[in-house]
Amino acid sequence: MRALAPALEKRRQQQLYRARRTLETPQGVELSVDGERLLSFCSNDYLGLAAHPALAGALAEGAARFGTGSGAAHLITGHSYAHQALEEDLAAFTGQPRALLFSTGYMANLGVAAALLRRGDTLVEDRLNHASLIDAAQLSGARLLRYHHLDMDSLRRRLSGAGEGDLMVATDAVFSMDGDCAPLKAIDESCRRHSAWLLVDDAHGFGVLGSKGRGAFHEQLGAAGGHAILMATLGKALGTFGAFVAGSEELVETLIQEARTYVYTTAAPPAVAWATRTALRLVREGEARRARLRELIARFRDGARQLDLPLMDSQTPIQPLRVGSAAAAVKLGEALRAAGILVAVIRPPTVPRGAARLRVTLSALHAPEHVDRLLEVLGNCYPGVKDVAC
Ligand SMILES: *Cc1c(COP(=O)(O)O)cnc(C)c1O
């Protein structure tokens, strides 16, 4: 049995120790955190729906109508009218024949890979994919091959060299720690040429990008053929909880039979699904929120450019600032916090070594003045860590 304390101590020394914060307020841009008032730029609540009164109302109505717990797995008696209605809403919204709810996005990615791939098959992934897609390869038993970030030549080489067995390509649509977008059309073409499945994780695009917030998958691939699979989460822009997979009739029926993370787990509370139906309506009618978000993104990028901050190539609400070492990133995060601003410090292994960063995220709830305040503080603090970083 390995001793735990030395490993924890080592983490601390390497500035890699992770600790949680406790929020006393609902999710939002002005938070009370561990007794302190802070202006926050760290949620995935891009449209500001997580604490929207209409969703709280729908959740209460759902609880009154369907109770608290689902009481069983979907295949026993846990599948409620609320789940069924939400699945139908999601299929209609995404333009896909069917949609299937999962309890979390992590479980959805694991479930899809494990249902469609087995030992002898190959899962080809962008190097910067979310951890759940990497773990999905392990659960499925498929061989994992990774290609250079967004590099289509590298992807094609991987596909050509994959050998026997079925193939699947999996990619984040919007990369969670970088904010940049995958060229889904080009990836899709390669997949067709190799008869490979394509699993697109639209966790950060769904609700935010594309017409009516239908996401990057819909925007770039439309109602692509049966080999393309959409996964999106409901706990980010939609402001509730859970995830879904959308695709062909046969795909969804296969997942119901074979996705272990679907079959062997309790169905999520039906009231949450009920609230998500309202969230979906707010997303569909949310053009003003998305327009505001785009204005905030442009304002932040303009200001950061003027300050010579190291912006990354992102047009999404995820606007990371590369720092370098974990120690420098922690120092910058602390300086911001001392000035009343909360930004997530992202360190290895979530990002590669030497690529620690501040992950600034914007929400439609931010006012232009909030962005200006962040820029002002960054302008004061960033030069101080630059030497440490480089
Ligand atoms: C958040 C996230 C997930 C996991 O979704 P949960 O519903 O939080 O489990 C999967 N993929 C990406 C890219 C994510 O950002």
Ligand 1, atom 4, lies closest to the CA of 105
CA distance 31 to 340: 10
Ligand 1, atom 3, lies closest to the CA of 105
Q: Residues of 240-254 as b/e, b for ≥16 C-beta within 10 angstroms?
A: bbbbbbbbbeebbeb
Which listed residue (103, 176, 190, 363) is catalytic? Answer: 176
CA distance 352 to 164: 31
Answer yes or no: are the C-beta atoms of 228 and 37 closer than 8 Å.
no
Q: Go through the domains of the chain in sequence order and give each one's CATH number.
A: 20-47+287-381 (3.90.1150.10), 53-284 (3.40.640.10)
What number is the average pLDDT over the span 173-177? 97
> 363 C-alpha vs ligand 1 centroid, how far in Å?
18
Answer yes or no: are the C-beta atoms of 307 and 375 closer than 8 Å.
yes
Is the pLDDT at 304 greater than 90? The verdict is yes
Annotation says 370 is catalytic: no
Is the pLDDT at 388 greater than 70? The verdict is no
pLDDT single digits (tens) 28-69: 999 999 999 999 999 999 999 999 999 999 999 999 999 999
> 207 C-alpha vs ligand 1 centroid, how far in Å?
14
Cβ < 6 A, ligand 1 pocket: 104-106, 130, 132, 172, 176, 201, 203-204, 233, 235, 243
Annotation says 176 is catalytic: yes
What number is the average pLDDT over the span 187-216? 97
Ligand 1, atom 10, lies closest to the CA of 105
pLDDT single digits (tens) 218-264: 999 987 667 999 999 999 999 999 999 999 999 999 999 999 999 99
pLDDT single digits (tens) 306-364: 999 999 999 999 999 999 999 999 999 999 999 999 999 999 988 999 999 999 999 99
> 336 C-alpha vs ligand 1 centroid, how far in Å?
26
> 289 C-alpha vs ligand 1 centroid, how far in Å?
22
